[in-house]
């Protein structure tokens, strides 16, 4: 074995477990979509970490068509609430076979789309492939849904996970994807490339010398893109309109509920943050209503994090429809579809409910009555409107109390971390996609000469 072969043997890559020969793919796809789909079919079990609006739906549907034809077995796609109908409409637009399935009896040939909440109504046997749409749902190590998905998909030969670029500094999400896809158990990934972050309990950070090898390994089972040029294609038609982020600050009364002190001193604990949010909810709702009512002819998404914020918003925004977690799945789905179709002008909901998967390019106005520390929820919520296919500038208004400044700083820092992570992913994906090895012949430009001391000996 040569030294180069020895070094190559040390590189950790996921094995290709899919098709050796991929049939012709849909001519309706962009070139980068065909390349990503072909890679995922060859991988057999892979992930599409494509940003919003790059066509993950078409890629997963075409992937499902080919897997169905190859295995002669149906494919099951799991999606967030109200997104199933979008996928089926997308399939029919491109002449692909797909249907909404609410239980095992609805399963038919091709792609069958259902909600995550209905997983227990299906049998894993007899499936040729499974697709997780908005697969970041599996990020929890111990979550019930994660364990059920892992067990359900374990014996299915073809697996596909689709989500936008994973959350920054949450590499455990990548580990869960790797485990779901059978590329490597998450604990092995952590022990190989990560060390415990002593500054953040329960967090891990990537070893400095392992950055390149880690992302090369991810590139062996996933494709990550923010725009087509990440894989060497033209960005024509994929230029996002401007995103205008407006921050509105409500001045909190620090003398209220101060106890024996002259002023209230908020801290960053979860209890203290919720206490502050409750104290300022009414004022933030009033300011949110002022912002929303300044453009009464626009469709609006108003995001909140808690039920008490939603209660205040419903009171000051008459005519807006609230979608709350305690509602039945059918009622929530009906309201979300109504907003998608334009029959509902304004909606009040949480990122946990409607922040993933929905295509709302018809809406270019959003308002957040405060934020949580989750950058991913904020990013995904904004991306419901600010995505490829949006033709107008998107205005997102964030209404916060001055006592929530630490949350704003954390979101800003995570945004910077997100961009840094995407740069690493972009470089690795481009290198993996090139499929070429450059070998340079040794062509010396200067004649070799002996050193003076060696000439004397000679």
CATH number of the domain where residue 180 is located:
3.40.50.10810
**Residues 37-41, mean pLDDT to the nearest whole number:** 96
For tokens 């481009």, the residue is 430
Identify whether residues 189 and 309 lie together within a single domain.
no
Whether residue 205 is found in the same domain as residue 92: yes
141 plus 272 within the same structural domain: no
* Contact present, 323 and 354 (Cβ < 8 Å): yes
**Is there a single domain that holds both residue 202 and residue 308?**
no
**Structure-block tokens of residue 214:** 């880690």
Task: Answer whether residue 73 shows pLDDT above 80.
Answer: yes
Domain boundary residue among 214, 237, 260? 237
Distance, in Å, from the CA atom of 439 to the CA atom of 142, rounded to the nearest integer, reads 47
280 occurs within a structural domain: yes
Question: How far is C-alpha 242 from the geometric centre of its chain's CA atoms?
Answer: 21
Instruction: Name the pairing type of β-strands 45-50 and 222-225.
Output: parallel
Is the pLDDT reported for residue 8 higher than 90?
Answer: no
CB 291 within 8 A of CB 366: no
Both 162 and 309 in a single domain? no
Q: What is the band of 221 on the pLDDT scale with cuts at 50, 70, 90? A: very high
pLDDT tens-digit series, residues 207-220:
877 788 888 888 89
Residue 267 has pLDDT above 70, yes or no: no
CATH number (domain holding residue 364): 3.40.50.300
Cα within 13 Å of Cα(283), Cβ side? 15
Q: Report the candidate in 15, 90, 34, 8 with the shortest Cα–Cα distance to residue 389.
A: 90
Same domain, 103 and 163: yes
Q: Which letter does DSSP use for residue 76 in this model?
A: E
Q: Which of 411, 431, 449 is the last residue of a domain?
A: 411
At 15 the pLDDT is 80
| Token pair 């294609």: residue | 233
Q: Give the span between the Cα atoms of 276 and 124, in whole angstroms.
A: 46
pTM of the model: 0.77
Percent of the chain with pLDDT over 90: 46
- pLDDT attached to residue 361: 92
pLDDT at 110: 92
Q: Quote the tokens at residue 99.
A: 């249907």
What is d(CA 364, CA 329) in angstroms, rounded to the nearest whole number? 26
For residue 269, the model assigns a pLDDT of: 65
Same domain, 363 and 285: yes
Same domain, 197 and 248: no
Residue 449 lies in a domain: no
- In sequence order, what are the residues at sequence separation of 6 or more whose Cβ sits closer than 8 angstroms to the Cβ of residue 333? 81, 82
- Whether 230 and 174 share a structural domain: yes
Q: Above 90 in pLDDT, residue 46?
A: yes
Residue 397: count other Cβ atoms within 10 Å of its Cβ: 21
In a domain, 87, yes or no: yes
Q: How far apart are CA 251 and CA 84, in angstroms?
A: 42
Whose tokens are 């009033």? That residue is: 286
- What is the model's pLDDT at position 440? 47
Cα 192 to Cα 186: distance, rounded to the nearest angstrom: 10
Task: Give the domain extent around 278.
Answer: 243-411
Residue 426 placed within a domain: no
Question: How would residue 106 be classed by pLDDT, with cut points 50, 70 and 90?
Answer: very high
The pLDDT of residue 439 is 43
Query: Strand pairing partners for 46?
Result: 160
| 220 domain-assigned | yes
pLDDT digits (tens, 9 = 90+) for 296-352: 999 999 999 999 999 999 999 999 999 998 899 889 989 999 999 999 999 999 998
Which domain-ending residue is among 198, 216, 237?
A: 237
Average pLDDT over residues 66-87: 92
Same domain as 119, residue 139: yes
Confidence at residue 214, expressed as pLDDT on a 0 to 100 scale: 86
Judge whether 442 lies within some domain.
no
pLDDT at 266: 62
212 with 333, same domain: the answer is: no
Query: Is 274 domain-assigned?
Result: yes
Average pLDDT over residues 436-445: 52
Provide the number of structural domains found in the chain.
2
Same domain for 315 and 204: no
Instruction: Confirm whether 416 is domain-assigned.
Output: no
């Amino acid at each position: 074995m040569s030294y180069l072969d020895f070094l190559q043997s040390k590189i950790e890559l996921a094995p290709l477990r899919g098709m050796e020969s991929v049939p012709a793919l849909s001519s309706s796809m962009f070139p980068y979509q065909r390349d990503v789909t072909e890679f995922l079919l060859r991988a057999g079990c892979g992930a599409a970490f494509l940003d919003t609006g790059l066509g993950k739906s078409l890629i997963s549907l075409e992937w499902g068509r080919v897997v169905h034809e190859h295995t002669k077995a149906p494919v099951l796609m799991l999606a967030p609430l109200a997104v199933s109908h979008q996928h089926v409409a997308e399939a029919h637009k491109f002449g692909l076979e797909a249907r909404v399935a609410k239980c095992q009896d609805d399963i038919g040939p091709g792609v069958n789309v259902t909600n995550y909440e209905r997983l227990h109504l299906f049998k894993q046997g007899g499936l040729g492939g499974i697709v997780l749409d908005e697969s970041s749902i599996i990020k929890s190590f111990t979550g019930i849904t994660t364990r059920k998905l892992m067990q359900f998909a374990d014996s299915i030969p073809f697996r596909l996970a689709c989500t936008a670029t994973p959350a920054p500094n949450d590499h455990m999400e990548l580990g869960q994807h790797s485990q779901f896809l059978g590329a490597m158990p998450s604990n092995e990934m952590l022990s190989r490339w990560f060390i415990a972050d002593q500054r953040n309990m329960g967090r891990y950070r990537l070893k400095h010398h392992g950055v390149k090898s880690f992302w090369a390994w991810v590139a062996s089972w996933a494709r990550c893109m923010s725009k087509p040029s990440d894989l060497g294609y033209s960005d024509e038609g994929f230029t996002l309109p401007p995103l205008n982020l407006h921050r509105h600050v409500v001045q909190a009364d620090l003398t209220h509920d101060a106890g024996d002190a002259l002023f209230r001193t908020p801290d960053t604990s979860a209890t203290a943050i919720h206490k502050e949010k409750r104290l300022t909810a009414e004022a933030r709702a009033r300011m949110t209503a002022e912002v929303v009512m300044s453009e009464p002819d626009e469709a609006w998404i108003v995001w909140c994090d808690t039920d008490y914020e939603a209660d205040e918003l419903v009171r000051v925004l008459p005519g807006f429809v609230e979608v709350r977690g305690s509602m039945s799945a059918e009622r929530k789905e009906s309201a979300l579809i109504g907003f998608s179709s334009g029959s509902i002008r304004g909606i009040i909901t949480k990122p946990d409910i409607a922040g993933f998967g929905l295509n709302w390019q018809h809406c270019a106005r959003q308002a957040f009555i405060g934020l949580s520390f989750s950058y991913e929820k904020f990013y995904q919520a904004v991306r419901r409107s600010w995505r490829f296919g949006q033709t107008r500038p998107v205005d997102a208004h964030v209404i916060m109390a001055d006592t929530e400044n630490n949350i704003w700083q954390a979101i800003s820092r995570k945004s910077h971390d997100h961009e840094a992570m995407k740069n690493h992913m972009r470089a690795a994906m481009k290198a993996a996609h090139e499929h070429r090895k450059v070998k340079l012949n040794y062509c010396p430009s200067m004649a070799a000469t002996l050193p003076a001391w060696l000439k004397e000996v000679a």
